[in-house]
Amino acid sequence: MTQAISSLIRCAVFVRDLERSTAFYRALGLTDTYYEGTLHAGSVAAALVVAPETVTRCRIVKRPGTPNYGMVGLFELRDPALEPLPRADAITPRAGEATLVFYVTDMDATMAAAAAAGASVIGPIAHFTMPHRSQREGCLRDPDGVLINVIERPIDEQFSDRPVQT
């Protein structure tokens, strides 16, 4: 039996500085706030297995005027025992690492805005060729080291429900 499951609602990113990370994701175009607040310490401790006194500020951002999925949740955990990711400018992905993927209409402007907002740009923009299409792609890391892949495609393609034809 197939289980009912929604589309991916959001990616939760644990950040060191909520304001810096918010500025970064807003520079990418996630300018609306879905939720903002300080989370209940006991609930955070139970869900994430962190110290019971951990203070967690949260801000979930999304594209303006879109449904409530495809969001990025920024969670600032104030717990000195938390370990950061390896260097924010690490070039190659690590086994088990997730990557946020976004479509953008202007690769050059997006990469410039991301760099100005604290991104580490990873390598040059590449022409990525597959059997069914060719597109420009670039990778960067956000201020906390999260790997992001941006793909130059029409934004409306995110609403297509057809599989890729090769």
Residues of the chain with CATH 3.10.180.10: 1-82
| pLDDT tier at 44, thresholds 50, 70, 90 | confident
- pLDDT-derived band at 29 (thresholds 50, 70, 90) equals very high
- The mean predicted confidence, pLDDT, of the chain is 87
Chain segment 81-107, per-residue pLDDT in tens:
777 766 656 777 877 788 999 999 999
- Report helix angle 107-116 to 18-27, nearest 10: 160
Q: Which residue intervals of the chain bear CATH 3.30.720.110?
A: 84-166
Residue 88: per-residue pLDDT: 57
Instruction: Please check whether residue 61 is in contact with residue 72, taking contact to mean a CB–CB distance below 8 angstroms.
Output: yes
pTM: 0.85
Q: What's the 3-state SS for the chain? A: CCCCCCCCCEEEEEECCHHHHHHHHHHCCCCEEEEEEEECHHHHHHHHCCCCCCEEEEEEEECCCCCCCCEEEEEEEECCCCCCCCCCCCCCCCCCCCEEEEEECCHHHHHHHHHHCCCEEEEEEEEEEECCEEEEEEEEECCCCCEEEEEECCHHHHHCCCCCCC
Whether residue 34 has pLDDT greater than 90: yes
Residue 31 has pLDDT above 60, yes or no: yes
Percent of the chain having pLDDT more than 70?
Answer: 95
- State the fold for domain 1-82: 2,3-Dihydroxybiphenyl 1,2-Dioxygenase; domain 1 (3.10.180)
Which residues are CB-neighbours of 136 under 8 A, at least 6 positions away? 107, 125, 126, 127, 128, 151, 152
Mean pLDDT of 131-149: 90
Counting Cα atoms < 13 Å in the Cβ hemisphere of 76 gives 14
CATH of domain 84-166: 3.30.720.110
pLDDT score at 92: 79
Residues 6+ apart with CB under 8 A from 37: 57, 58
Name the pLDDT band for 164 (thresholds 50, 70, 90). confident
Q: What is the pLDDT of residue 53?
A: 85
Q: Are 135 and 150 in contact (CB under 8 A)?
A: no
Mean pLDDT of 51-61: 90
Structure confidence at residue 22 as a pLDDT band (50, 70, 90): very high
